[in-house]
Structure 1
Amino acid sequence: MSFRSAWRSGAAVLALSALALMGCSSAGGNAAEEGEDPKDVSIALSNGFVNGWRLTLINKFEAEAEKLKEQGIISEYSSVNAPGENSATEQASQIRSLVLQDPDVLVVIPASSTALVPAVEEACDAGITVVVLDADMDAPCATIVRNDYAMWGEKSLLPALEAIDGEGSIVLNRGVIGSQPEEEMYARQKEILEDYPDVTVEAEINGFCDSSTTQKEIIGVLGSLPEIDAVPGCIGGMGIAQSFASANRDVPVVVFGTDGKALSYWQEQGIENGSFATLTDPGQGVAAIYVALAILSGEEVPHEIILPLLEISQDELDFWVENLGADEFAAYPWDKESVAAAIEAIKAEEEVVAPSIE
């Protein structure tokens, strides 16, 4: 069975086997002479569950992989979604099946940062370059590519507090409770709020970074709330704004999602009260490809590559509305040069700069 035919049964897996720590292990597969681009690399992506953000990541990943295939850098690529609802057990089984296909690179978006460690280590032991994407993981043999979740907590809260001049009543919209990103995000938010004694958290809701879920949650508490100045946290701004408007209440400062539908709503409703959009960047799927290729080229790559969050201000709204489909999420346009610059910045302990949006 061919690499491609064996993997086309699913829908999205990056395979990346890599240096675990800088200079600790050597890349296998079709490694090139140091400094040269590798050729004929087979790459797969294993995804733990599907939502709109993940679909944007997968689409960006596949489009970039196809471009690199045309250049002869990638020979085969595939992406596979694990069955079940974010089941680590199902994804572990999927990863082990993929390892048998012997890709050069395996990219894993894990359902669990702990339960999948053995499966990831097995892939490394098989000589596969592994990149763990959008999560941290205690797997020294893999390279981590993710956003800064504590910074996400900061970026999803501070602009709202500034918009209300550091005083007033807020509702804190939690993310995917129990996940590592949400834990870091929430911890940072609590630290920040300690420095704002004139801000009262009237309630916390569990919006799970989803607009419809957030809308149900806010409707459930809205009748008992005083005037609310802001609802910072993990996106959901469209559902929150709709709920307040339906209740004939002033729309507070909210955090919109970075998808075309939410941004179009923000624009169409003319909400100009300091609301904003911020979310993790689905473009990191493309960045992971170039991190893997850097490893295969013999470059020393840090164990952890932390990339900037996606932020959209009122001034940038028109650009994104014009360039996004309704279900598409905004993403930074990572490429070989911008990823190389990010790697060098991390080595030098400097700030990583996102590629420019044109």
Structure 2
Amino acid sequence: MSRALLTGRLGGRARPAIPIAALLAAVLLSSCSSDIPEDDAAGAASSEQAQDGGEGAKFFDQAAYDRQLALAGTAPRGPADKPWEQMLDPQMTDTAKYAKKGGAKGVHLCFSNAGVFNPWRQVGLKNMKAEVELHEEITKFTVLDAQGKDDKQISDIQELSGKGCDALIVSPNTTATLTPAVQEACGKLPVIVFDRGVQTDCGVTFISPIGGYAYGAAAADFLTGKVAKGGKIVALRISPGVDVLENRWAAAKKAFDKAGLQVAEVKFTDGDPSKAKSIVSDALSRHGTIDGVWMDSGATAVAAVEAFEDAGKDVPPITGEDQQDFLQAWKDKDLTAIAPAYPTFQWRTPVIAALRVLGGQEVPKQWVLPQPVVTEENFDTYYKDGMPPLHYGACGCEKLPGYPGAWGGK
């Protein structure tokens, strides 16, 4: 059975859903628009389709939606203080055939990365490299950066497959295009795929948080609890036609319709703060009052806050992300807010998984990680004083070597 891995963290787009997609929501993402390579941002869906959302939307899958929301309420297995090692509803798979002779020692671990073209991926790679430092059994760690280019990553994977690597971690740039390269690599060494998916289940494990429906629903449910029936919502989206974003919006639209809230504006920001600010300012001019702001990515949340301030209006309930600049604004301005996360701690998990595989230990075939939501109650867990604006609170990096300096902190 092949895996229609519906990409995480706004990574490459998944193609038409295959049955496993209904089972695994974990591939959808984080959150930030900046994860999309420039040549992958123009999706197949039109702006009109993307803004419509709901059950009839092109990307909506009821079974995947139900599965993700169920997983969001599931207690994880694993260490309470190490969410990057936790698992949601795992189905374990035997890895004895991949066990390294003499155990997982003297390991040459390799990583084919889609790129570091946004702050989320930059923080994530720092996490991964620091995790490697914790394991003396890893004697060599080779990383090749595809720079957001499919053809380069195909070449990178082919190079790493013949470079003496004991295991290969892959974060694909796009879904369908990278599938043959990953399939070929699987015939040569154990492959761990994470964050973004491919349309094959040949990898030993696929690692990602819960997914886009859970993310979008968490943000929308917060607003439906804060805004009275008939209230006006502005929805700020990043790009049309990207499954993770479409799933977030579809889940939100369902929640707003059910609660009787008016979606007064649905606009795409392209991840541009100035555009986001202009959209909110125009909405205030047209509608007079906006009762809530929902976002499928929090990268431009601070700009939305500034639009209300410039108009001399109180900031209504707003959703963002675990990016430090938004958390700082939340703290400084005492916002009524929530911040779903597509946690960067997931970058630690592939290293741990690779060592377990090389040690012949079982791992989940679909390693679904928790997907935290920053709330008023747990805010202090994710806000870290002195961290740079583009840091991410759900990094799970606080006890890693070099923290906080290696992450830009004071």
- Relative to the length of structure 2, the TM-score reads 0.67
Relative to structure 2, which stretch is displaced further, 204-213 or 229-238? Answer: 204-213
Quickly say closer, same or farther: Cα 1:90–1:214, change in 2 above 3 A: farther
Residue 138 (structure 1) aligns with = 199
- Find the aligned partners of 2:332 and 2:307 in 1 and give their Cα distance: 16
Q: Say yes or no: does 1:292 pair with 2:359.
A: no
Deviation at 1:296, TM superposition (A): 2.0
Match of 1:42 among 102, 105, 108: 108
Quickly say closer, same or farther: Cα 1:82–1:29, change in 2 above 3 A: farther
Alignment of 1:41-120 (within 5 A): 41-49=107-115, 50-68=117-135, 72-83=136-147, 86-120=148-182
1:30–1:40: 8 Å Cα contact kept in structure 2? no
Deviation at 1:229, TM superposition (A): 1.0
Quickly say closer, same or farther: Cα 1:75–1:238, change in 2 above 3 A: same
- Find the aligned partners of 2:191 and 2:222 in 1 and give their Cα distance: 36
Deviation at 1:279, TM superposition (A): 1.9
User: For 1:121, what is the secondary structure of its paired residue?
Assistant: helix
Residue 4 (structure 1) aligns with = none
Deviation at 1:23, TM superposition (A): 4.2
- Find the aligned partners of 1:220 and 1:295 in 2 and give their Cα distance: 54
- Find the aligned partners of 1:255 and 1:294 in 2 and give their Cα distance: 37
Q: How many residues align?
A: 302
Relative to structure 2, which stretch is displaced further, 94-103 or 111-120? Answer: 94-103
Residue 243 (structure 2) aligns with = 180
Deviation at 1:259, TM superposition (A): 2.1
Structure 1 vs Structure 2 CA RMSD:
2.7
User: For 1:157, what is the secondary structure of its paired residue?
Assistant: helix
Q: Deviations over 1:135-156 (max 9, x none)?
A: 2332111121111222111112
1:136–1:146: 8 Å Cα contact kept in structure 2? no
Residue 291 (structure 2) aligns with = 229
- Find the aligned partners of 2:170 and 2:384 in 1 and give their Cα distance: 30
Deviation at 1:27, TM superposition (A): 4.9
> Which one scores higher on RCO, CA 8 angstroms, separation ≥ 6?
2
Deviation at 1:211, TM superposition (A): 4.9
Deviation at 1:268, TM superposition (A): 1.4
Deviation at 1:177, TM superposition (A): 3.2
- Find the aligned partners of 1:140 and 1:123 in 2 and give their Cα distance: 12
Quickly say closer, same or farther: Cα 1:334–1:292, change in 2 above 3 A: farther
Match of 2:262 among 190, 197, 200: 200
Deviation at 1:185, TM superposition (A): 1.9
1:62–1:78: 8 Å Cα contact kept in structure 2? no
- Find the aligned partners of 1:190 and 1:266 in 2 and give their Cα distance: 25
Percent sequence identity over aligned pairs:
23
Q: Which amino acid aligns with 2:129?
A: E
Quickly say closer, same or farther: Cα 1:62–1:208, change in 2 above 3 A: farther
User: For 1:57, what is the secondary structure of its paired residue?
Assistant: helix
Q: Give the unaligned 5+ runs of structure 2.
A: 1-90, 399-410
Alignment of 1:299-310 (within 5 A): 299-310=361-372
Match of 2:253 among 190, 199, 218: 190
Deviation at 1:55, TM superposition (A): 0.8
1:47–1:81: 8 Å Cα contact kept in structure 2? yes
Q: Deviations over 1:214-251 (max 9, x none)?
A: 33543465433341111112223211101121122321
1:283–1:332: 8 Å Cα contact kept in structure 2? yes
1:32–1:298: 8 Å Cα contact kept in structure 2? no
Match of 1:126 among 168, 176, 188: 188
2:227–2:292: 8 Å Cα contact kept in structure 1? yes
- Find the aligned partners of 1:230 and 1:305 in 2 and give their Cα distance: 34
Match of 1:278 among 337, 340, 348: 340
- Find the aligned partners of 1:24 and 1:256 in 2 and give their Cα distance: 39
- Find the aligned partners of 1:212 and 1:90 in 2 and give their Cα distance: 33
Q: Deviations over 1:295-334 (max 9, x none)?
A: 2222232221111213211233345132633321112538
- Find the aligned partners of 2:197 and 2:292 in 1 and give their Cα distance: 30
- Relative to the length of structure 1, the TM-score reads 0.75
User: For 2:384, what is the secondary structure of its paired residue?
Assistant: helix
User: For 1:231, what is the secondary structure of its paired residue?
Assistant: strand
- Find the aligned partners of 1:216 and 1:101 in 2 and give their Cα distance: 50
